[in-house]
Amino acid sequence: MAPQQLIKQLEAYTLQHPQEVLLLSLGQEAVEDQILIFKGFSSSLMRPTDFNPDNPILTEALPIQSIDRLQSPYNPANPVFIESGLSLTQMQQYLTEADIN
């Protein structure tokens, strides 16, 4: 699946589930990033996020290592995990259940 399509699906999921925040851990070798998705918006926690939503925040260069489902509102000092360390395949099951294609 193309990264831009995937991020749109994850954003749609958070619109349907506003009580959740998704935290994506990305990385390859020494390059890492974290993307937070909440109520349809994505933002990098480690790099500048482009103001133009048409520019991809997720790329094939940094594959998804894990996805955490957290309770909203997100407090980085005291995060409340619903589920931690999901694989992309496991998260896609939630997208299917939410009828997000």
Provide the whole-model pTM: 0.90
Range 51-73 average pLDDT: 87
Under the banding of pLDDT at 50, 70 and 90, the label for residue 49 is confident
Tens of pLDDT, residue by residue over 1-44, are 788 899 999 999 999 999 999 999 998 877 789 999 999 999 99
Pick from 25-39, 65-79, 81-95: least confident: 25-39
Statement: residue 59 has pLDDT above 90: no
Range 42-65 average pLDDT: 83
Under the banding of pLDDT at 50, 70 and 90, the label for residue 50 is confident
Which one has a higher pLDDT value, 58 or 87? 87
Q: What is the maximal distance between C-alpha atoms in the chain?
A: 36
Statement: residue 54 has pLDDT above 80: no
